[in-house]
Each structure stands twice: as C-alpha cells, then as structure tokens.
Amino acid sequence: MSSILTNTSAMVALQTLKSINSNLAKTQDEISTGKSVASAKDNAAIWSIAQNMTADVKLFESISSALGMGEATVSAALTGAEEIVTTLNEMSKLAASATSENADYDKINEQLTSLKEKIDGIVDASQFNGANLLMDTVDGTATTFNIISAANREGSNAPEMVYITVDAQDLKTDVQDATLTTIADNGTAEDVIGEIEDMRAAVLTAAATLGTAKAQITDQGTFIGKLSDSLKRGISTLGDADMEAASARLQALQVQQQLATQSLSIANQAPQNILSLFR
C-alpha cells in the first residue's frame, strides 16, 4: 500500500543516512585526534584504564628526575671519596719516607698538614644541591638520604612510593676530626702511617657503600625508563586509532553516504508517482 501521509521508504532511508553520518563523524574524529578512545563516552572502561596509566607515566617521569638528582648527589660524594683515597696514598708515601735516615721531618710534617687540609676541604665540598653524603649528616640534620625510586600501584588504589636510602658516611668523624701525630723520629713516622691507614679504611668503606648505591640508582633509572616506555605503548594500544583502518573505513563510509543520500532522494520522490494514478 502506498500512502501520501507516511513514506516508509523515506523513513528507512533517512535512518540509514543518519547512522552512516554518525559513523562518518566518529571516523573523522579518530583521524583528526589520532585516538579511537578520546573521552569516556567512547569507551568508559578503556578510557579510565588509559588515564591511570597516563598518570603513572607522569609519575615515572618525576621519579626519573628524582633518581637523576639522587645519582648526582651520590656521584659527588663518590668522586670526593676517590680523591681522598688518592691524597691519602700521597700522605702514606710521605710518612713512609720519614722512616729513612736524615729525613727532613719539618718539611714532611708541613706537607702532611697541607694534604690533610686538602682532604678536609674535599669532605666539605663533596655536596650536591646542599646534600653532602660524606659528612655526619646529609643536610645538617638527617643522617640518611632518601631517593624516590618507584611507585607501586595495586588496582585502582593510590600508588605506594618506594625509596632507595643512602646513609651519611661520616667522614667528618673518621677523617676530618682525625689528627696526625707530629713526626719526630722513626717511631712517630710509623704511628702516622697507622693513622693514615685508619683513615684510608674508613674512606674505602664509604666509597664502596657509595659505589654500590650509585649502581643501584643507575639500574633503577634504566628500569624506570623501560617501564615508562612500556606504559606508553600500552596506552597507545588501548586508545590510539588504527590510521590505516580508519582511512579505509572513511572512504567506505563516504561511498555509503552518497548511496544513502541517493536512496533518500528516490524515496522522497515516490509519493509523486501516485499522482499518475489520478490523471
């Protein structure tokens, strides 16, 4: 039955055209934004997961910066400790020379004092951004230096911060405050050699501790970088548009739109054909 009041064919053609136009608009949005899930309305579950992962990436970027600062602080102290060891070697050589006959004790004592002052200066200077791991306290109060190293998240809970802790090595007590006996003969020269060895043992222990901490920080920084890259790939997989597929879908929808428009035009002309029945 044909009706001039209700054009069923036009209604169907119109709904088809609206559906095609909607899909075409969505595809065009994907191509312009590069995302298949750009907002919660596109896919609430995936969008929520992607947002959490994006927040984690930002957090890891901050952690990476903190690890870099921490590594620089430890490196400054480690460099100082290594330089102190070199200076102590010079002092040990000087003290050993004092055990020889006809040694110039005054000159040797003067050089030892100068080198000891150099070591004291190295301990004071081995700081980065106000933190000195060679002193008895890192910043005048704290005896440990905490470096944020990771953020562990369980489900949708807030992330839990994880830290690498480096202890102050207290070369102030073991080296700066240590005194050297004045060399006056072979016996006092041997005493000084022993005092230098005590300082060397303390510095070597500090250097080993700092070296281990630096290696841990470096490894953690590498891991955080790889983990951040993995999260970025995951976010891309969840929300980025497949541009090849979107391009093919766009062309197909454009053809469908043209055909649907022609179908609607034909359907709209159908009632006019009824006029021929009354001629």
Token pair for 65:
């910066």
Question: Strand pairing partners for 34?
Answer: none
**Domain 62-239 sits in CATH 1.10.357.10:** no
Confidence of residue 279 (pLDDT cuts 50, 70, 90): low
Dump pLDDT digits (tens) for 201-248.
999 999 999 999 999 999 999 999 999 999 888 888 888 788 888 889
User: Tens digit of pLDDT for each residue in 150-160?
Assistant: 988 776 677 88
State the angle between helix axes of 105-125 and 44-97 in degrees (0 to 180), rounded to the nearest 10.
170
pLDDT 10s digits, 169-179: 999 999 999 99
Residue 1 in this model has a pLDDT that exceeds 70: no
Query: Which residue did the predictor score with more confidence, 38 or 124?
Result: 124
pLDDT of 167: 95
- Tell me: pLDDT of 2 over 70: no
Contacts of 271 (CB under 8 A, 6+ apart): 2, 4, 7
The amino acid sitting at 103 is A
Minimum mean pLDDT range among 18-27, 33-42, 201-210, 217-226: 33-42
**CB 115 within 8 Å of CB 109:** no
Model confidence at 70: pLDDT above 90: yes
Mean pLDDT, all residues of the chain: 89
Alpha-carbon gap, residue 190 to 126, rounded angstroms: 30
Average pLDDT over residues 110-123: 95
Quickly state the pLDDT bin for 37 (edges 50, 70, 90).
confident
Residue 237 exposed, middle or buried by CB count within 10 Å (0-12, 13-18, 19+)? exposed
User: Looking at per-residue confidence, does 249 or 5 come out higher?
Assistant: 249
Q: What are the residue boundaries of the structural domains of the chain, listed by start?
A: 62-239
pTM: 0.77
Tokens representing residue 112 in the block: 């030892």
pLDDT at residue 75, rounded to an integer = 96
Quote the pLDDT of residue 153: 78
More confident residue, 266 or 163: 163
In angstroms, what CA-CA distances link 140 with 121, 127, 168, 219? 17, 12, 11, 29
Mean pLDDT along residues 172-199: 92
